[in-house]
Structure 1
């Protein structure tokens, strides 16, 4: 039985077809959000345009919508409306493995049907707007291009991550980069960026651009638009020729692309184009639009899907100590990881790259006895996950899924896709469907941003597409700055395989990028808080068991934080400066706050707590954390609903708490 339910009464206003058939030029339609603050206007003339205001402030100026098919047919050129319909929808979604268990799904919808058998659907939520094309044709379609425009009225500042492709194909990237904070007018011409991007508007307002329900279609990049202060969509051409290459030959590089972006069914709905709007920055920390706009679950029985944490090997370079066997990619090491997981309540271990011969997936290296590892872990209630590069898995998908499912593997971490053209998007859906048939979970690393696939196939429990902690092994990126930007931008799209958990922590002056003995930038408590702040149904403990066992208080806190929640409350925050979130699992609350390299004092409002007496286990930056980033203080205090806690965050610091009813 599907956990998704849609029991609703829709109030439908149908405008008589005779009144709108062959609509005259310059006709228009309006749609407003349920709270009447956001207004969307659609103009039908020689072309179709859309515009948006929020609280009477212009967000999007009239922007053209069109789609070009083969032989030059353009949907949106001299359009003729055949029918229209408005609906008011107020229902709920039962979320699966999410940051809340129930989502209020309240929006107004406008459906326009045009001659030539195509349509547009517009939705207005209290948190933004979205639109999508539909077609109803008997034959398959070739989509040459789609025109997606976001014209802004002024030269606003934008947070934008360039693709920065080092090779020949700009569309083949890892989807992880810093955010440039620049005026729209200074976006480098003829350079693409990947969504989400975030635009600063007057009066503290923000507008974020992304997409949802991306299926059998390429992902949307963004570039400087044709008008001043504009962004427009850009799409990768369909791959015609590919060659093996990249890291250990695990990738497939496109060497020739078609002059079209997709070949697809003639009767379908296309991806949603989303504009998320916030009046305060903190609203971006708890937004559900991508999940709401995704297709409903296609898995009836989800009881076998068990998100959780994983003891991870690769980031720490297998550097355990105090043992009587050589640490590394071998059976003894993974049995040791299993024992660590059991002792600390960690649900899974992961065999990352190296357990299989280079470029293979159906064999193991001599030092790995996979049956023994799976049997040992299984006897102790610990799940085993396997890492795989994209190409070996794509070439051996059916055999690999059947083999490892039968052996008792719990899930696969799939890496180095590094594309989102239509062919690669199809791979995501095919793998998700087939993995579900074998009761295997998936973590997409080396991936494009989530677009709601985790709702459609709940066995997909995480995505990378983020400049995660692995980058500290080789980069001097300003991570506390990035850490305080990404929850307002990338996390709008969905969960992030950021892989936190460093026990070696450094301030700005002391940090060094070291591959085999890595450290984090910022304080210990900054790392602890990320387990609360960042959405990740499948979340890794990046450091090695030895370091965690040397830090039992920190490890106990990390292990106790769930990876999915029943409720989320955005407490406070400002993009690029700080963020604070509270999340509830059953009757226990978890709170996380982080700052950039600037120390600051925050007031944590405990009004989210129900009435009653509570006990709080608190981790805060130590008095010397600015000098020695591992310095922290743990304390246990009594708290009540409505209290205000004054907390201090050191440079690159954090604050974390577990709050539960007092006994």
Structure 2
């Protein structure tokens, strides 16, 4: 593929223009701290300040149509309107049952039947284009730029594969990587950055950049230019020709692209560009920006949607012991998983890759070792739901038939994997899959996919996303990979976008010098208590139990705790947090609270203030790192004791450690 036209197209919309007569519009957040300024002249620029502190320098905004028309060049405002919203919205299957939504909004309508909408919350800025035109609209490019007042520190995930400056090779990726920390001008301009990304201003403010309400549009990447403190947007152009291939021939590989990024309807609102603002790091652990910006649920009756835990086979390599059959992909093994789930209140069992005939991309072809109807009936009798893994092409090629067939059988949902793109065709697939599955009362867990953008509010049967460098990486990652530091970095960045299928729960745990990759009997980095705490710290409405039932049965105290941890919550309180160092979160479910804390490779003592707990008589069932957890990471102490009268909980964590507690009365 000749990339010169592609790279030219990706930069067209951001060509600087000479400033002429300008009009300036401003908008403040409800609390008055944030202020955005929109300057309209030969180009449109947006700035953001917090009090006297500049957060974003004037940054260009425009959209280029396929025919070369630039929405935002020499723009003329025909109407400017402001309004305010202050309400509370219901948020089932989330980290809290109610979300406060309070913002001020500025809507600018321009000659040429397009507009820009700006929303300013107390915790961030969002803006989006709108168009009001007949017929189909093809978008050549959108200028999304974030200019900063100084050369700030950025914490970003680069696309993990592909060649420098060859964006086409980088558009094919799984959206999984650890973070790179550098000044913005030091970022590699040849590497794409996937979202969310974080920028830390010298004054202490942290900005998380991401997007929301992505329907009918490609996802956004960022890149630096190596010279100025600015991040610019890049989009994958619309696929023109695809070819089956990739992992077990379950993927569609783009061989040729169109000269535009989106083909869409002319009357619409485009995705929100969002900048989440935090004065303190811990504020990022309980941010609702993406949920607020997503469209409301399109499912009227959500009573059938059942979040919960999943006994998972693939990470532990189907390894069972102490049984009288050969473990593997067969009915005996899955019946054992089902019995295990039923006895312990685990809602689901997943059949991951291997139940359908390999390399056929046909979900109707089941391997002879599996009698799926028998398994589904067996699970139903024991109040356990079955979820099926599906490769993207096998699922997409005949979606209606596949979904209706397995829904009639009694399967409860799908884990769809290996999309590994975020161009408009893949985004359209997510929305279509969500709708089709909802029509048949089926759940969806998307893997091999980009970050969430609010789809789980619009279609709440989408109960989880991957787009995270999760525990599966420990099956093969070398000792140089630092998962522990990632664990206390990612919640401040990736988790701002929404829930994530990290797949925690390892019972083999390794201190820093003891970790090594073992694909068939994997281990985690860090302590046992860290694994327990991650069920509380990480947001995940559909949450995997990654390890073998045999290993869990050997650890009844730890397993009993994680099996009982809820996966959706009534309330979340961010207790403490420092990017890359530590996290402490409290979450409420009914009349019970859970507390989870994580540290990096530094041993740490923290005092957690739980004074928000009303009344007296609280008891704490806690799991703390044992005295020798720095040597043998499985070492822990479980105790039950009264909550101190001052409601302050002293927590001690080993290097790579954690703390988990259930608080009740």
Q: Structure 1 length normalisation: TM-score?
A: 0.95
Q: 2:423 aligned to 413, 421, 428, which one?
A: 421
| 262-271 or 181-190, which deviates more | 181-190
**Contact 2:187 2:226 survives alignment (8 Å):** no
Q: 2:663 aligned to 651, 659, 662, which one?
A: 659
**Contact 1:612 1:640 survives alignment (8 Å):** no
Partner in structure 1 of residue 36 of structure 2: 40
Q: Secondary structure at the match of 2:620?
A: strand
Partner in structure 1 of residue 99 of structure 2: 103
Q: 1:377 aligned to 379, 382, 395, which one?
A: 379
> How far did residue 56 of structure 1 move?
1.6
Q: 1:55 aligned to 51, 56, 66, which one?
A: 51
> How far did residue 615 of structure 1 move?
1.1
**Contact 1:165 1:171 survives alignment (8 Å):** no
**Contact 1:193 1:222 survives alignment (8 Å):** yes
Partner in structure 2 of residue 153 of structure 1: 149
Partner in structure 2 of residue 88 of structure 1: 84
Counterparts in 2 of 1:350 and 1:135: CA distance versus 1, 3 Å: same
CA distance in 1, matches of 2:413, 2:646: 42
Counterparts in 2 of 1:641 and 1:30: CA distance versus 1, 3 Å: farther
Partner in structure 1 of residue 245 of structure 2: 245
Counterpart check, 1:133 vs 2:125: no
Matches within 5 A, 1:442-481: 442-476=444-478, 477-481=481-485
Counterpart check, 1:431 vs 2:427: no
Q: Secondary structure at the match of 1:491?
A: helix
> How far did residue 508 of structure 1 move?
1.1
Counterpart check, 1:124 vs 2:120: yes
CA distance in 2, matches of 1:28, 1:596: 46
Partner in structure 1 of residue 15 of structure 2: none
Partner in structure 1 of residue 613 of structure 2: 609
Q: CA offsets, 1:582-605, max 9 Å, x none?
A: 000011001100011111111111
CA distance in 2, matches of 1:108, 1:225: 33
Partner in structure 2 of residue 630 of structure 1: 634
Partner in structure 2 of residue 313 of structure 1: 313
Q: Which runs of 4+ in 1 moved over 6 A?
A: none
Q: CA offsets, 1:263-316, max 9 Å, x none?
A: 100000000000000000000000000000001110101000001000000000
> How far did residue 363 of structure 1 move?
2.0
Q: 1:395 aligned to 393, 397, 402, which one?
A: 397
CA distance in 2, matches of 1:585, 1:449: 26
> How far did residue 169 of structure 1 move?
2.1
> How far did residue 208 of structure 1 move?
0.7
Counterpart check, 1:234 vs 2:230: no
> How far did residue 204 of structure 1 move?
2.2
Q: CA offsets, 1:495-535, max 9 Å, x none?
A: 01000000000011111100000000000000000000000
Q: 2:159 aligned to 144, 160, 163, which one?
A: 163
**Contact 1:64 1:147 survives alignment (8 Å):** yes
**Contact 1:609 1:640 survives alignment (8 Å):** no
**Contact 2:529 2:624 survives alignment (8 Å):** yes
**Contact 1:151 1:227 survives alignment (8 Å):** no
Matches within 5 A, 1:588-599: 588-599=592-603
> How far did residue 126 of structure 1 move?
0.6
Partner in structure 2 of residue 527 of structure 1: 531
> How far did residue 227 of structure 1 move?
6.8
Partner in structure 2 of residue 549 of structure 1: 553
Q: CA offsets, 1:600-626, max 9 Å, x none?
A: 111111112112211111000000000
Q: Which runs of 5 or more residues in structure 2 are unaligned?
A: 1-19
Partner in structure 2 of residue 194 of structure 1: 194
CA distance in 1, matches of 2:330, 2:67: 58
Q: CA offsets, 1:170-226, max 9 Å, x none?
A: 111000001001110111113211010000112321001000000100000001159
> How far did residue 259 of structure 1 move?
1.5
Partner in structure 2 of residue 279 of structure 1: 279
> How far did residue 25 of structure 1 move?
2.7
> How far did residue 640 of structure 1 move?
5.5
| 217-226 or 133-142, which deviates more | 217-226
> How far did residue 54 of structure 1 move?
1.1
CA distance in 2, matches of 1:70, 1:116: 15
> How far did residue 30 of structure 1 move?
0.6
> How far did residue 255 of structure 1 move?
1.0
> How far did residue 559 of structure 1 move?
0.7
Q: 2:543 aligned to 539, 544, 549, which one?
A: 539
**Contact 1:42 1:49 survives alignment (8 Å):** yes
Q: CA offsets, 1:376-427, max 9 Å, x none?
A: 1100100000000000111110110010000000010000000110011000
CA distance in 1, matches of 2:67, 2:622: 64
Q: Secondary structure at the match of 1:608?
A: coil
Q: CA offsets, 1:119-152, max 9 Å, x none?
A: 0000000110000000000121110000001000
Partner in structure 2 of residue 69 of structure 1: 65
Counterpart check, 1:406 vs 2:402: no
Q: Secondary structure at the match of 1:536?
A: coil
CA distance in 2, matches of 1:386, 1:597: 37
Q: Secondary structure at the match of 1:83?
A: strand
CA distance in 2, matches of 1:203, 1:549: 50
Partner in structure 1 of residue 11 of structure 2: none
CA distance in 1, matches of 2:625, 2:203: 33
Q: Secondary structure at the match of 1:30?
A: strand
Task: Give RMSD over aligned pairs.
Answer: 1.1
Partner in structure 2 of residue 289 of structure 1: 289
**Contact 1:606 1:641 survives alignment (8 Å):** no
